[in-house]
Structure 1
Amino acid sequence: MFNEQPLAWYAVYTRAKCEKKVADLLTRKKVEHYYPVKQLVRGRKIVETPLFASYVFVHIPESRSWVVRETENVVNFVYWLEQPAIIPDHEIALIRHFLRDYEEVSVEHFPIQAGRESTSPSGGKIIQLGSSRVKVALNSLGCMLTASIPSREVRVIAGNKTANGHHY
């Protein structure tokens, strides 16, 4: 019997400023990937920039890692404890959620010293939810996402805060 490996999300490290090129090449190779970008206004233009510098995420079985490694401008997989780091599905979903629902999303790196932590519906750890900012930990990447939220979109419901209709 043919035993197929499960798909997992991996972070791939690219050469500097080559994230989009790598994403395009992965599309041609029919490799499922995610290249998170944020939009910035520069003068009169809206410019897309990578949320994670030099990172593209791929969704593959481990046995297909050679296809990614052979892609031009890919340096290597991001490693943790001598193995390619696996990014949980809920963290990829959280990145997508933040980029879809918030403006001014940025990445901050650990260490974080947080008092009270709670879990969001998508599985990320809420570090801070204030009147104008929300911060969520992405433990597998050693960083957190920070987003600005208008205070009119934050309200307290029975001791829990919500932003953009999502309970935290």
Structure 2
Amino acid sequence: MAWYAIYTKSRMEKKVSLRLEELGIEAYCPTTKRKKQWSDRKKWVEEVLFRSYVFVNIDLEKQSGLVRRTFGVVNFVYWLHKPAVIQDAEILAIRQFLSDHLEVETIGTTAKIGDYITIESGPLTGQTAKIVGLKNKHEVRLKIESLGFELVAALADK
């Protein structure tokens, strides 16, 4: 069993995740809360973090056909002509990051420069991260190498 990324039809991530769960497949659709403003009110809404992506924990040989036949699934995300494997540690890091921060956003990245560090304190202790630059002292970034994304959250003033 391993985690794989699947590509879904536009705006069907939550529905695909629910359908896969109903079929007995462990699916993870990361979401974040964002405050939206309309002309008459403000409201917190839940948004999908990775547009058109859902993660599944499956035995590829036994369950890939079932995943592909699920309504809303386009295909697996491929890397070097094979379905891209997402490390368990990266899924755990995403879950931890989302539980620790509100209003998280993703930024696609292709940068390959910088040093690797191991975080020594805080909620991400033990995680390996890549330094991709410093915008200011009020921003946290976690780079997920296998997906080519960064999770970005603003730190609250204390």
What TM-score do the two structures reach when normalised by structure 1?
0.80
Q: Please, which runs of 5 or more residues in structure 1 have no aligned partner?
A: 1-6, 153-168
**What percent identity do the matched residue pairs reach?**
41
- Distance across 1 between alignment mates of 2:141 and 2:97: 10
Deviations, residues 32-82 of structure 1 (Å, cap 9, x unaligned): 011100111223332111000000000001121111011001000000000
Shift of 1:122: 4.9
Greater alpha carbon shift after TM alignment, 101-110 vs 30-39: 101-110
Q: Greater strand share, 1 or 2?
A: 1
Q: Specify the SS of the correspondent of 2:47.
A: strand
Partner of 1:72: 71
- Distance across 2 between alignment mates of 1:87 and 1:41: 30
What TM-score do the two structures reach when normalised by structure 2?
0.84
Number of aligned residues: 146
Shift of 1:113: 5.3
- Distance across 1 between alignment mates of 2:126 and 2:59: 23
Confirm whether residue 17 of structure 1 aligns to residue 16 of structure 2.
no
- Distance across 2 between alignment mates of 1:141 and 1:122: 20
1:24-35 maps to which residues of 2 (within 5 A)? 24-35=18-29
1:140-151 maps to which residues of 2 (within 5 A)? 140-151=146-157
Please say if residues 114 and 130 of structure 2, whose CA atoms lie closer than 8 Å, have aligned partners that are also in contact: no
Greater alpha carbon shift after TM alignment, 39-48 vs 55-64: 39-48
Please say if residues 116 and 128 of structure 2, whose CA atoms lie closer than 8 Å, have aligned partners that are also in contact: no
Alpha-carbon RMSD across the aligned residues, in angstroms, is: 1.7
